[in-house]
Structure 1
Amino acid sequence: MNAVGSDLASVEERIGYRFRDRSILELALSHISAVKGEAPRLRSYQRMEFLGDHVLGSVVSHMLYLAFPEGEEGELSRRLAELVREEACAEVAQDMDLGPFIRLGPGESQSGAHKRRAILADVAEGVVAAVFLDGGYEAAHQVVERFWRPRLETPRRPLRDAKTVLQEWAQARGLPPPSYREVTRSGPDHAPRFTVAVDLPGLASEQADGASKQNAQKAAAAAFLVREGVWKKDES
């Protein structure tokens, strides 16, 4: 087996899918800097990344629809955006250990382009597209399920606005909606600073600062949720 074939076999092992046509996988790993001759954009992963973005969105949307039967459209959209954003795709590429196998031109290779978040994210989407083209939707679904499921089950960031979560929390306990009041305003007119308190009957108020009233309200709601044990501190 030649070096390229050996590399592609390693990628297959990492992603858990064996290609019938490895040239599709090779294309998904080819940065434009590595392509010589005519129409380099057509012979790099750029078209694959376009397709993979949409296949990934479709598969993750399906996963979310099944995983959160009570989730409304807004919540599902926020979860989808979190799972398919550049940072998440780059992390998946790292989990797949794709960096060493990206085909780069000499200059890009020397500059460490295989570690760049944007390139890693593009390659992850390209690999999803390659699996889809080679094995169909079900094969792509299995790969996405394997690498995106842990992120679906354990989001890295809060997926809902703190004010919305606090309102739902209060409603579940038979309380009226939280009320917000401006405590202080400081700083010059061009850069004001607001301190806002959030109140719920029978519970201590919580205060927070922000560059706008809206930001201060969100921060106060987040602080309230952390204090009550609804959110962890690193989620606020």
Structure 2
Amino acid sequence: MKPARPKRTRLRSKAKPEMPSLTENELKALQEIIGHRFKSPDMLIRAVTHPSAVSSADSVRLSNQRLEFLGDRVLNLVIAERLIDRRKMESEGDLAPRLNSLVKKGACATAMRHLELQRFIILSDGEISSGGRERESTLGDACEAIIGAIYQDAGLSQARKFIEKGWAPQFSAAPSETKDPKTLLQEWAQGQGLPLPDYTVLSRSGPDHQPTYEVEASVTDRGSAVAAGSSKRDAERNAAALLLKSLTGDT
């Protein structure tokens, strides 16, 4: 009896996606600024990889989108802890707008510029030529992703150190406004005996990694204003600020 012939293995010639990278010197400099040497440097590289730098099929695995999601939650926790610890006499109503002002995309972008980390973001040539390296949403997303990467690599304590360093100027600066525009608009409407403001999303455009929301803020019988933002929350705040300015004349 003849021995059974071994089954042939079908080989698939599927090209392996190319992992974005930084030079050894860039990676070293980036870690020095962050103040943490990564056990897994690939995680840090992923944190600074914009979705435009990889194919759409590999975006989830190779870009910073998932780390951004995690970092946003870590940032909110650290800032909330800091406010609770240092503003012991303030109510939840006072703390919430302070929190919002320090965790929004603009605050994250400011931290990136303060640390001069924008030069390390990995972008497509097209994104670079269109000014992506200075775009607030790009900087904010990368900053949140770096926080997420630090948290996964070394835990909350190390992530907190990075946030304290990156946000130092914002922590020391006296806030120009203790309440965000949505809160101010709500208080104005209540003071006038009017219903609370309404917010309606008019449109969402742009790619998933860089959306633009257009929102209308309105107060019954008093008017409305439309504004855009890189998130629904930012668009609502911008629309509220415009409407409040038209209603009160305040700058």
Structure 1-normalised TM-score? 0.66
Asked whether 1:132 is paired with 2:151, we answer yes
Asked whether 1:26 is paired with 2:45, we answer yes
Deviation at 1:112? 2.5
Report the AA paired with residue 72 of structure 1.
S
Asked whether 1:47 is paired with 2:70, we answer no
Whole-angstrom distance in 2 between the partners of 1:142 and 1:135: 11
Whole-angstrom distance in 2 between the partners of 1:211 and 1:106: 41
RMSD: 3.0
**1:107 is matched with which residue?**
126
Asked whether 1:15 is paired with 2:34, we answer yes
Q: Which of 104, 126, 130 is residue 85 of structure 1 equivalent to?
A: 104
Describe the superposition over 1:100-119 as per-residue Cα deviations: whole angstroms up to 9, x where unpaired: 11111121122221111110
- Residues 97 and 180, structure 2, Cα contact 8 Å, conserved in 1: no
**1:229 is matched with which residue?**
none
Unpaired stretches in structure 2, ≥5 consecutive residues: 1-20, 184-190, 193-220, 224-244
Aligned partner of residue 20 in structure 1, secondary structure: coil
Correspondences of 1:189-208 after superposition (within 5 Å)? none
Unpaired stretches in structure 1, ≥5 consecutive residues: 165-178, 181-188, 192-209, 220-235
- Stretches of 4+ aligned residues off by more than 4 angstroms: none
Asked whether 1:153 is paired with 2:172, we answer yes
- Residues 26 and 120, structure 2, Cα contact 8 Å, conserved in 1: yes
Asked whether 1:69 is paired with 2:78, we answer no
Report the AA paired with residue 57 of structure 1.
N
Aligned partner of residue 23 in structure 2, secondary structure: helix
- Residues 112 and 166, structure 2, Cα contact 8 Å, conserved in 1: no
Whole-angstrom distance in 2 between the partners of 1:63 and 1:20: 27
Whole-angstrom distance in 1 between the partners of 2:174 and 2:150: 25
Report the AA paired with residue 94 of structure 1.
R
Structure 2-normalised TM-score? 0.63
